[in-house]
Structure 1
Amino acid sequence: MAETKQTVAVIGAGSWGTALAMVLADNQHEVRLWAHNEDQIAEINEHHTNHKYLPDITLPERITGYHSLTQALDGVTVAVLAVPTKAIREVLAKASAEASQPLIIVHVSKGIEPDTLLRISEMIEEAVPGELLEEVVVLSGPSHAEEVSLRHPTTVTVSARDMKTAEQIQDLFINQNFRVYTNPDIIGVEIGGALKNIIALAAGITDGLGYGDNAKAALITRGLAEISRLGTAMGANPLTFSGLTGIGDLIVTCTSIHSRNWRAGNMLGKGKNLDEVLDSMGMVVEGVRTTKAAYQLAEKYQVDMPITKALYNVLFNGQDVKDSVDALMTRMKTGEMEDLFNILDERKND
């Protein structure tokens, strides 16, 4: 556990932001948890709960809720950004107007911005004036907020261009229940964390169709190959995808009812349309937006991503769910190791 205690702002009081605020409070840091909903902030401060997002959890008293970004950011040097991808630019515009000194921004969201095709760290660097941004750090890995809030053992990865800053954030979060590793591959960490949501949606669909564990294992395995192909084309280290933000994230997101992307896919597999699914979820399903962005990235980098393409056609072109999954299972035959050899050849040529 870190010896130096800090005041840290957590921007976003959803399930993940609140769970990470608990980790920081357990490490004896003072935590300012910001949300735009005044009733939610009142509940956090008066009852030490955030029932909508983490039912039956009591929050440590070191967590104080804030509705004012000015007050939440006053004097802090580290801000944890825990809002959905679609809200990042709006929130950062407000934060930039209120910040009084440079910030280390630790982003914990998992997505890619459609159309611009920017990773979240790139969005932050574009949206925050240089004089107010000390460094961007990514925190990602196989982690359900529900389990983190119960202090179940969890491992995650932090990455930054400046590894000294990554190590600083590692020290900020690490404790006996929440283990933090560092990884210098910021592209791979972000791509792995974002694209696993696509595969989780697809895994939920196969479960909703009743196709069983064999089909899901195939989907996860081929999904990992698909993520590795795109990530490597974008400059990531392929070894990153065999770690926490690759295999680890895929396992936890594709196999658990805690995963909102799996749950959304499961409903799609059972016959609900996308609008019905999103209305019933009550929380953002990042995999939907990420599917669109990944489809665009696959075209940009000319990378074969059949699972992403099939899911894109289901979500945005109205293709039948069962027909799309069945078509995936009957694609042209190929050698299982061809992807690995192609990736290794590309790295060798670089």
Structure 2
Amino acid sequence: MGKCAMIGAGSWGTALAMVLADNGHEVRLWGHRDDQINEINNDHTNKKYLPDIQLPDNIIGFTSLSSALDGMDTVILAVPTKAIREVVRKIIPLLDSKVIICHVSKGIEPDTLKRISEMITEEVPDHLLSDVVVLSGPSHAEEVSKRKPTTVTSSSVNIKAAEFIQDLFMNQNFRVYTNPDIIGVELGGALKNIIALGAGISDGLGYGDNAKAALMTRGLAEIARLGTKMGANPLTFAGLAGVGDLIVTCTSVHSRNWRAGNLLGKGKDLEEVLENMGMVVEGVRTTKAAFQLAQKEKVDMPITKAIYDILFNKRKPKDAAGALMGRVRTHEVEEISISVSEQP
């Protein structure tokens, strides 16, 4: 059995800790709030993030990062993208041997434009890092914690490391595939949050199913366009980490990004929305990074640009939607075939 430290006791970290515990692994769940960790250890609940869920007894909570990591061979990072570097820097002095680091976050760092695996590799010395793996796909913590059927993807530049994480998590309720395209898996997971914001805005404006279907489809084209330019396999975006994650994030009330977008579409300003959410909305920060990436790579991403203008330039959602609909006519299939033909 594995020895796993889950760093981050939010909804997703807790739900994944449950999967590991169900598989019989030793699971240590780290959080920085004493009251939350005491609740996990004494009541076996985490009510703020997963109401009405009883946690397995073999999940042990820690506020001490050193104690949580002691003797563990796998570290899983379930913290927001903006906290990745800070948390990793705290972890490094506490490691005395190589570990596999698996991250389950979805974002891109603004300004540096780094993917999360790149951030981790940049921070952790080679003698302490065995491999970096990403676990991604269509998966809401609320459903995983209720042991509803879920399927995700494990990806790494080292397929053996991806398979190790696959074996660690996989059970009858939680199926894991592997994919060697870590660029595509990370970008698909990050960029779909932007489109989910757009889907929520569209629903908030009352535009209906036709508009949302078009937004999701053209949004996927944008994701694939940028992804292939950055070296991803275009087929990844037709899989779980691409269209699968896009569907679930754009259509579910569990989606923070959809809920945030919905409030924006109903006229709330960004500061008010984020305050009301009470949890990190990764798509906001990712929109800034994706807009910067599109400019750097000279990739046309009109939906991303529209969401960026709504979030950071205070453009009214209805005006941004009108501008998208009024763009000059163009082809659909041609640009997809061009993207595929550009692959080596």
Distance 2:152 2:54 in 1: 23
Distance 2:58 2:224 in 1: 40
> How does the TM-score come out when normalised to structure 1?
0.97
Distance 2:254 2:326 in 1: 30
- For residues 109-258 of structure 1, the aligned pairs below 5 Å read 109-258=105-254
Read off the aligned partner of 1:160 and give its amino acid letter: S
Distance 1:63 1:39 in 2: 16
Q: How far did 1:6 drift?
A: 1.7
Conserved 8 A contact 1:75-1:101:
no
Match of 2:84 among 85, 88, 92: 88
Read off the aligned partner of 1:172 and give its amino acid letter: L
Distance 1:6 1:251 in 2: 32
Counterpart in the other structure of 2:321:
325
Conserved 8 A contact 1:112-1:119:
yes
Counterpart in the other structure of 2:71:
75
Counterpart in the other structure of 1:105:
101
Distance 2:125 2:58 in 1: 30
Read off the aligned partner of 1:278 and give its amino acid letter: L
Conserved 8 A contact 1:142-1:245:
yes
Q: 1:339 is paired with a residue of what secondary structure?
A: helix
Read off the aligned partner of 1:322 and give its amino acid letter: K
Counterpart in the other structure of 1:288:
284
Q: 2:45 is paired with a residue of what secondary structure?
A: coil
Conserved 8 A contact 1:111-1:286:
yes
Counterpart in the other structure of 2:305:
309
Counterpart in the other structure of 1:31:
27
Q: How far did 1:344 drift?
A: 2.2
Counterpart in the other structure of 1:334:
330
Q: 1:134 is paired with a residue of what secondary structure?
A: strand
Q: Per-residue displacement from partner, 1:150-187 (whole Å, max 9, x unpaired)?
A: 00000000000110111111000000000000000000
Q: Per-residue displacement from partner, 1:78-130 (whole Å, max 9, x unpaired)?
A: 01100000111111111112122211000000000000000000000111122
Conserved 8 A contact 1:74-1:100:
no
Distance 2:325 2:27 in 1: 48
Distance 1:144 1:339 in 2: 32
Seq. identity, %: 72
Conserved 8 A contact 1:241-1:247:
yes
Distance 1:38 1:101 in 2: 28
Q: How far did 1:30 drift?
A: 1.3
Q: How far did 1:345 drift?
A: 2.5
Read off the aligned partner of 1:289 and give its amino acid letter: R
Q: Per-residue displacement from partner, 1:267-305 (whole Å, max 9, x unpaired)?
A: 000000000000000000000000000000001110000
Conserved 8 A contact 1:30-1:63:
yes
Q: How far did 1:331 drift?
A: 1.3
Counterpart in the other structure of 2:258:
262
Q: 1:338 is paired with a residue of what secondary structure?
A: helix
Cα RMSD after superposing both structures = 0.7
Conserved 8 A contact 1:200-1:250:
yes
Distance 1:116 1:108 in 2: 20
> How does the TM-score come out when normalised to structure 2?
0.99
Conserved 8 A contact 1:201-1:265:
yes
Conserved 8 A contact 1:203-1:254:
yes
Read off the aligned partner of 1:287 and give its amino acid letter: G
Match of 1:58 among 54, 58, 62: 54
Distance 1:209 1:222 in 2: 19
Distance 1:213 1:330 in 2: 19
Read off the aligned partner of 1:216 and give its amino acid letter: K
List alignment gaps of at least 5 residues for structure 1.
Answer: none
Q: Per-residue displacement from partner, 1:294-334 (whole Å, max 9, x unpaired)?
A: 00000111000000001111101111111001211221111
Match of 1:6 among 2, 21, 31: 2
Read off the aligned partner of 1:154 and give its amino acid letter: T
Q: How far did 1:38 drift?
A: 1.1
Read off the aligned partner of 1:234 and give its amino acid letter: M
- Aligned structure 1 segments of 4 or more residues deviating by more than 2 angstroms: none
